[in-house]
Amino acid sequence: MPFSLFDPTMILVIPGIILTLWAQAKVSSAFKKYSKVRSRSGVTGAQVARDILNRAGLQKVGVEPIQGQLTDHYDPRDGTLRLSEGVYDSQSIAALGIAAHEAGHAIQHAEHYGALVLRTAIAPAAATGSQLGVWIFMIGLLVSMFAGGSFVWLLDVGLILFSVAVVFTLVTLPVEFNASKRAIAILQQGGYLTADEIPEARNVLNAAAWTYVAAAATAVLTLLRLLILRNMQRD
């Protein structure tokens, strides 16, 4: 059947794009706002992360600075927690919230938290699927227009690859939500933030969570679009 790269099914991904743009603006705004609010404890993001890890018995987990903004992450492959320039040396409420969140990932790793174990296991395949899945699908769709059904298998390969990437985004949600929940509890119980500062840290982490929700929604909608196109090609 005739096909255009700008076919009507593209309307399915528009809500995901809008949600992504909104989520990015939300997290940027929250970080900018609360990165200007100094915590009463006066400790830095790096100090909070280090102290949380030590209390959890994770002295071997390193805490390192990394360039960029909001590039903070915990790498389970080498057991290193990396904090961005605006978090590592900052004493802001935003910095402490983010540092505690990343420390939460390290604790998840140490406890073999199920969702994190699964996400780490499928990460390599998900990266490949995210980069190649849609392209292989589209190439198969275009080739099948001229060569008939003999290349329809390419569509299925693309779908399988991209499906792994979709699963990755879905599994990421409980991993991130759990890390944020741990972070808020740790910040409160450890006395790093006062009771009136906790809601502000929660606002930062909630805003960040929306970026993962947007990524998952966009991935699911894109997969739905590909499935519709696959069925249309079959017909």
Residue 52 lies in a domain: yes
pLDDT at 9: 80
Residue 44 lies in a domain: yes
pLDDT at 146: 72
Residues 6 or more apart whose CB falls under 8 angstroms from that of 120 comprise 76, 77
Q: What is the 3-state secondary structure (H, E, C) of 108-141?
A: HHHCCCHHHHHHHHHHHHHHHHHHHHHHHHHHHH
* pLDDT digit string, tens, across residues 147-182: 666 677 888 899 999 999 999 999 999 999 999 999
Residue 18 lies in a domain: yes
Residue 170 lies in a domain: yes
Residue 3 lies in a domain: no
What are the start-end ranges of the H helices in the chain? 14-34, 45-55, 85-88, 93-110, 114-147, 152-189, 198-234
User: 96 vs 138, which has greater pLDDT?
Assistant: 96
Q: Starting from the edge strand earliest in sequence, which strands make up the sheet with 62-66, in order?
A: 62-66, 80-84, 73-75
User: 104 vs 4, which has greater pLDDT?
Assistant: 104
pTM of whole model > 0.75?
A: yes
Rounded-to-integer distance, Cα 195 and Cα 189, Å: 10
Residue 211 lies in a domain: yes
Q: Is 21 helix (H, G, I), strand (E, B) or coil?
A: helix
Looking at the annotation, which residues are catalytic? 102
pLDDT above 90 (res 5): no
Rounded-to-integer distance, Cα 37 and Cα 32, Å: 9
Percent of the chain residues topping a pLDDT of 90: 76
pLDDT above 60 (res 4): no
Q: How many domains does the chain have?
A: 1
Weakest mean pLDDT among 118-132, 149-163, 198-212: 149-163
pLDDT above 90 (res 1): no
pLDDT above 50 (res 96): yes
Q: 106 is in which domain, residue-wise?
A: 8-234
What does pLDDT average to over the chain?
A: 91
| Count of CB atoms situated within 10 Å of the CB of 29 | 11
* pLDDT digit string, tens, across residues 134-148: 899 888 888 877 766
* pLDDT digit string, tens, across residues 24-40: 999 999 999 999 999 99
Residue 2 lies in a domain: no
* pLDDT digit string, tens, across residues 6-16: 578 888 889 99
* pLDDT digit string, tens, across residues 211-224: 999 999 999 999 99
- Segment 185-191 shows an average pLDDT of 94
Residues 6 or more apart whose CB falls under 8 angstroms from that of 31 comprise 69, 70, 86, 94, 98, 204, 207
